[in-house]
Amino acid sequence: MPERRTVALVTLGCARNEVDSEELAGRLEADGWQLVEEAADADVAVVNTCGFVDAAKKDSVDALLEANDLKDHGRTQAVVAVGCMAERYGKELADALPEADGVLGFDDYTDISGRLNTILSGGNVEAHAPRDRRKLLPLSPVERQSGADGVALPGHAQAPENEPADLPEGLAPASGPRAPLRRRMGSSPVASVKLASGCDRRCSFCAIPSFRGSFISRRPSDVLNETRWLAEQGVKEVMLVSENNTSYGKDLGDIRLLESLLPELAEVDGIERVRVSYLQPAEMRPGLIDVLTSTPKVAPYFDLSFQHSAPGVLRAMRRFGDTDRFLELLDQIRGKAPQAGARSNFIVGFPGETEEDVAELERFLNGARLDAIGVFGYSDEDGTEAATYENKLDEDVVAERLARVSRLAEELTAQRADERVGETLSVLVESLDGEDGAFGRAAHQAPETDGQVVFADGAGLTAGRMVEAKVVGTLGVDLVVERVSEEAGR
């Protein structure tokens, strides 16, 4: 019997990309490929790229070049680019980076195995030709579900209902039909689940809708089945991801569908915490705030996409709101759940931004008490409306404002962490370090972005355990905790 071909998936970017990679892994393993962790041990290295901002693009190119170097002194025979950067630039990327043996778009995902086999056999797979994916689905959201046949939606794939029973262990679910075509990569007790793909908003600085397409929700039954399957794989926390979770259900005829889905997800056996990310402030509604702040096992966590707070800048961004409205929203949330977590990202140096606008943003940040803050300096993105704007700021002005607001953000998030000293939190243990070191996250901390919890004494803890702990100190945005009692947790 011939040796199975091996493949390694290198994932960059956001949690949505991680889900896409696990779907690709599921497809490849179902077609007989052997998955390996290290690109050096693989016949082909598949790099799932990020195409969001310049820094992410550079990281993607660096990862492709690094994988290409393995071809000179390792097993690796081919390097293939997939993901957002490949989808967004396609042939342009292939021409600029001949080191990549293939540049595949989302439409190639359904036959990813065939594409890789062709490349490894020395055949030619034509580089992806980019297109505006907003035009692939009906303009009306309610018509999209019936019009989505044949449209590639990464992270949405389901195994056929008549899938053979002898699929590799860990790929086929025990929970019946319509299971995720997904293979977990790693053993973390946390996993992301896609609620939807695409975005209907037209923020002037963002190119994502052009290469991710219009907004389309997954059906609640698919989300539930995938969560059940993940629980069977040992997952304790699921994080719901999409480009805009507050729009979930609008194409299914019920904009309040998330409010009814969350309690069902929280009741899945084995799941200890459900977290929702990527919320639009302009689309927040009282019912959703109520569910997020009062449902057992649903984290009172608000990842709110503010981007700025000065009205003039927000209008130029094609967004809504202002400092006082945003502070009022945060007050509503904390009035229902005082310990609720809140985070956001901000862009400084947007075309036309004045010193008064920056001062207004600083006023908001000082009053918002956010647990985590991401600050980015504006740069033109290909194909966006903002790239055509006049009144661009000099790079040194953008850099100065970025440094200034970043320093403020660091100070404020450290102060917010200090405010939590004395609180008792439910902490999910995620990793161990040595004999007594243990790390985890509380409800107000999402993976990768929001800091972590450090146990003063982690003896006897295991990854995946939920523990009640008291905050006794801070390390910047990180919290130092002590267990309330040896018997606490589950």
Binding-site residue ranges:
14, 50, 84, 199, 203, 206
d(CA 119, CA 86): 16
The amino acid present at 213, given as its one-letter code, is G
Distances (CA, A) of 205 to 8, 35, 382: 33, 37, 9
Identify the sign of the CA torsion 115, 18, 162, 212. negative
Detail the residues annotated as belonging to a binding site for [4Fe-4S] cluster.
14, 50, 84, 199, 203, 206
Note whether 7 and 28 are within 8 A (CB).
Answer: yes
Coil, helix or strand for 197? strand
Give 137's DSSP letter: S
Please report, to the nearest 10 degrees, the dihedral formed by the alpha carbons of residues 256, 259, 264, 270 taken in order.
140
Which has the closest alpha carbon to 330: 277, 371, 362? 371
Residue 413 identity (one-letter amino acid): T
Q: Check residue 489 and give left, alpha or beta (phi > 0: left; psi -120 to 50: alpha).
A: left
State how far the Cα of 235 lies from the Cα of 87, in Å rounded to an integer. 30
Which residues on adjacent β-strands are paired with residue 48?
A: 11, 82
Instruction: Tell me the one-letter amino acid at 5.
Output: R
Q: What is the dihedral of CA 425, 430, 432, 438, to 10 degrees?
A: -10
Radius of gyration over every alpha carbon of the chain, rounded to an integer in angstroms: 23
Three-state DSSP state, 348: strand
Distance, C-alpha 376 to centroid of its chain = 17
Beta-strand runs (E) in 78-169: 78-82, 102-103
| CB proximity list for 4: less than 8 A, separation 6 or greater | 32, 33, 34
DSSP structure class, residue 199: -
Tokens of 94: 């292939």
240 neighbors 130 (Cβ within 8 angstroms): no
- The pair phi, psi for residue 122, each rounded to 5°, is 90, 5
